[in-house]
Amino acid sequence: MTTLVLIPGLVSDTVVWAPLAEAASGLMAVRHADISGGTSITGMARTLLDETDGDIVAVGHSMGGRVAMEMAHIAPERISGLVLANTGHHPKREGEEIKRQQMIDLGNRSIDELAQQWLPPMLDPARVGDRQLIARLHAMVVKAGSQVHERHIRALIGRPDASAYIADLGCPVLLVAARQDGWSPIAQHREIAEAAPDTELVIIENAGHFAPVERPVETAAAITEWLARRFGETQ
């Protein structure tokens, strides 16, 4: 049996993939991944592999996409497919650690202030005034707390260079980019699509970096269509 493992990103939880979990429940077994205790991308990947039996379709958002790719790198024989949404593959960039440390410091002073500062640039500019959307994401970040935030940031600082092995990914990959995502732009997803051997790219309109939450219906529909087409006959 194949399990759809839904992996959230930085200071995120089941809020991100809840609509997809519901939409895909008729296609295969679904499991929400909890990576709140993880301290490295590779460690998170190994934990999810150990906790899940059988074959896996790993679905990752943002940092969760990096975890998903690392799962495929570690255990290619168990990963039947990857869905990578609003994610990246580059190694740590020059000067990145300083900026990330500033965010750690802010989060440790006040996770509430961190959420206020971090979230708006992550969204489609047209949605920044959407109080309900902001409130849901704000509550999610605050619930995660400063310790999870610091662990996740340090995991990102020490992340593996996924670009070194993307060409070796043997499973089908669906890339989900968003038109207004300035953090993980469409061009970045195209780079992954060109490097990996079996990829498809879909673009979610009117969405930013939190596309699965900003446009849950459209994002879930794109992913479930791909899942049904690529894996529907194997379940």
What average pLDDT score do residues 215-231 get?
97
Amino acid at 1: M
Is the pTM for the entire model greater than 0.95?
A: yes
Residue 224 within a domain: yes
pLDDT digits (tens, 9 = 90+) for 64-88: 999 999 999 999 999 999 999 999 9
CA dist 196 and 172 (Å) reads 9
Residue 72 within a domain: yes
Residue 42 within a domain: yes
Residue 148 within a domain: no
Residue 135 within a domain: no
Nearest alpha-carbon partner for 230 in 23, 27, 46: 27
Check residue 93 and give its pLDDT.
86
Taking CA atoms, 34 is separated from 13, 39, 134, 138, in Å, by 7, 12, 22, 18
Angle, CA 120 vertex, CA 66 and CA 209 arms, to 5°: 30
Residue 131, H or E segment? helix 131-157
* Token pair 């993939």: residue: 17
Check residue 219 and give its pLDDT.
98
Check residue 233 and give its pLDDT.
55
pLDDT digits (tens, 9 = 90+) for 146-160: 999 999 999 999 999
Residue 106 within a domain: no
Angle, CA 51 vertex, CA 50 and CA 57 arms, to 5°: 90
Check residue 1 and give its pLDDT.
87
- CA quadruple 16, 75, 172, 53: dihedral sign: negative
Check residue 176 and give its pLDDT.
98
Task: Look at the chain and report how many structural domains it folds into.
Answer: 1
CA dist 91 and 204 (Å) reads 25
Counted residue by residue, the chain has a size of 235
Check residue 234 and give its pLDDT.
44
Residue 74 within a domain: yes
What average pLDDT score do residues 123-134 get?
97
What is the residue range of 196's domain?
2-92+156-231
* CATH number, position 206: 3.40.50.1820
With bands split at pLDDT 50, 70 and 90, how would you rate the model's confidence at 235? very low
pLDDT value at 169 more than 50: yes
* Token pair 């991944």: residue: 33
Nearest alpha-carbon partner for 47 in 34, 59, 65: 34
Whole-number mean pLDDT of the chain?
96
Check residue 191 and give its pLDDT.
97
Residue 174 within a domain: yes
For 15, the token pair is 């809020």
With bands split at pLDDT 50, 70 and 90, how would you rate the model's confidence at 94? confident
User: For the purposes of burial, counting CB atoms within 10 Å of the CB of 165, is it exposed (0-12), middle (13-18) or buried (19 or more)?
Assistant: middle
pLDDT value at 46 more than 60: yes
